[in-house]
Amino acid sequence: MPDNETAFRALLDHMAVTSDLSQTMAVLSWDENTYMPDGAAEARGRQMATLATVIHERLADPALAELVARLEDAGLPEDSVEAATVRQARRAVDHASKLPASLVEALSMHGARARSVWARARQESDFTSFAPELARMFELKREEAEVLGYQDHPYDALHDLHEPGSTAARVRDVFVPLRRELTTLVAEIRDAGSQIDDALLRQSFDEAAQERFALDTVTAFGYDLEHGRLDRTVHPFATSLSKYDVRITTRYQRHYLNTALFGTMHEAGHGLYEQGVADEYYRTPLEDTASLGVHESQSRLWENLVGRSRAFWEGAFPRLQRTFPEQLGTVALDPFYAAINRVQPSFIRVEADEVTYNLHIILRFELELALLDGSLSVADLPEAWNHGMQEMFGITPPDDAAGVLQDVHWSIGLIGYFPTYSLGNLISVQLFDAAVAAHPHIPADIRAGRFGTLLRWLRENVHRHGARYLPEELLERATGSGLDAGPYLRYLKAKYGELYGLS
Ligand code: ZN
């Protein structure tokens, strides 16, 4: 029997090699989504499948499970880095060893098939053709939930994969008041009568100039190009190829400034998080992030709380005007600030503003919960979707393409994932408030184009910890309170009350 120290070192050695393999796979995936020629798709698929198999075998290795079990019984101090490392290793081991290979394969095969049926169904706005594929996917995911295990609701098992420690009940706790208050706020804005015109954002903007401005902005935030890069893609993302190489992508629309402007800030926020993980966690199970929700809190914080704030543009607008003198040279700050924050109940989630965005998520959460526990049938889904849209937004989609068929997530089995977007929004305000409470000069800094104090606070309280803490634990430590919709609602009401002249 090795002693605990030897066992822990063996665990680290095993996981370090696995980490190298996973990061190698991330390089292949980044390349696939950026510069890989179309003709390489099949060969790349094979390379990635081989790597995935090798990684899976390493994680399902009984010798690793034995090390983990032994260290769990070793009485490691609960708050120690070692205990957190073992906990993360346990998550990986369980996921790899609980799911039978047949289910893993069925999920991957069906995901590929359902995704392509979904793409065509969306194009033709034909839900009926997609319905059997979706029903099968929910069956498989129910099976997965059963194998993984849960206490209250099968949703918990699936949601926990993306938001460790969170449950459907926990999400419902915050979503119920959020739904009620946001629905009221949306109706108030709709009835306020003051319309915001965003035509000034819909002129012609040179793409290279957009890129220069976006890159200057995110490097000023602290995004490090020595350990990152910015490329173009159709569907923007951020990816960590190790904490020393965290890449972001964006897309440009010549006739709409917001896409690249806020999209790049968003992805840079994700990038800043992973660049900030502590060096000593490199190649360990802690070189990761707390959860998707915390990840999204970082992107939303830089995109919205910094990037869509008046303070930021008081400093940055002259620079944007110099970049686009013809289009914006004579525009005043106020109409620009209003335009980038325009609220418009709309059908498509990815185009939604800060106020309506979370209602899109709440709708999806309620529906996937009901589909999973069988209280809603797939056949009744479009009607339930449209009913929810009417109730929350006061609008009904003209067809299923603009409704229930708009997102890829469910087709590829991402169920229990949507809430993390909203959790991220809520957490972003909780963290920002805590940072400003600790350093009241942060808003003045942002106005002056200085972001160092804010970034240092985030590094210290969030980034450097990697996957050491569960998301709610991390939030408690950083802000003194658990997940809470209150701060987010107060933020929205203050900002949009002023913009729309609500009393
Ligand atoms: Zn994001």
- What is the reported pLDDT for 46? 87
Q: For domain 4-128, give its CATH number from 2.60.40, 1.20.58, 1.25.40, 2.40.30.
A: 1.20.58
What is the tens place of the pLDDT at every residue in 350-396? 989 999 999 999 999 999 999 999 999 999 999 999 999 999 999 99
Q: Is 84 helix (H, G, I), strand (E, B) or coil?
A: helix
CA of 179 to the centre of ligand 1 (A): 21
Rg (CA), the chain: 23
What is the tens place of the pLDDT at every residue in 71-98? 999 999 999 999 999 999 999 999 999 9
- 267 flagged as catalytic: yes
Contact between residue 136 and residue 103 where contact means Cβ atoms under 8 Å apart: no
What is the tens place of the pLDDT at every residue in 427-448? 999 999 999 999 999 999 999 9
CA of 65 to the centre of ligand 1 (A): 33
CA of 73 to the centre of ligand 1 (A): 37
pTM over 0.85, yes/no: yes
- What is the reported pLDDT for 192? 87
Contact between residue 239 and residue 246 where contact means Cβ atoms under 8 Å apart: yes
CA of 202 to the centre of ligand 1 (A): 24
Torsion angle, alpha carbons of 301, 307, 312, 316, to 10: 150
CA of 458 to the centre of ligand 1 (A): 17
CA of 298 to the centre of ligand 1 (A): 8
- What is the reported pLDDT for 1? 60
What is the tens place of the pLDDT at every residue in 211-263? 999 999 999 999 999 999 999 998 899 999 999 999 999 999 999 999 999 99
What is the tens place of the pLDDT at every residue in 120-158? 999 999 999 999 999 999 999 999 999 999 999 999 999
Residues with CB under 5 A from ligand 1 (ion): 296, 299
- What is the reported pLDDT for 193? 76
The active-site residue out of 133, 144, 267, 274 is: 267
- Planar angle of CA 251, 257, 261, nearest 5 degrees: 60
Q: CA-CA distances (angstroms) from residue 114 to 105, 122, 125, 130, 382?
A: 14, 12, 15, 8, 17
Q: CA-CA distances (angstroms) from residue 289 to 30, 274, 467?
A: 19, 7, 5
CA of 270 to the centre of ligand 1 (A): 7
Question: Residues 6 or more apart from 426 whose CB is under 8 A from it?
Answer: 174, 178, 297, 483, 484, 485, 487, 488
Question: Residues 6 or more apart from 64 whose CB is under 8 A from it?
Answer: 11, 14, 58, 89, 93
State the amino acid at position 131 in one-letter form: A
Question: Residues 6 or more apart from 170 whose CB is under 8 A from it?
Answer: 483
| Distance separating alpha carbons of residues 160 and 163, to the nearest angstrom | 5
| Distance separating alpha carbons of residues 219 and 224, to the nearest angstrom | 6
Place of tokens 């099949």: 42
Is the pLDDT confidence value at 503 over 90? no
Contact between residue 383 and residue 131 where contact means Cβ atoms under 8 Å apart: no
Residue of higher predicted confidence among 38 and 69: 69
CA of 71 to the centre of ligand 1 (A): 35
Give me the percent of the chain exceeding a pLDDT of 90: 92
Q: Distance from CA of residue 346 to its chain's centroid?
A: 21
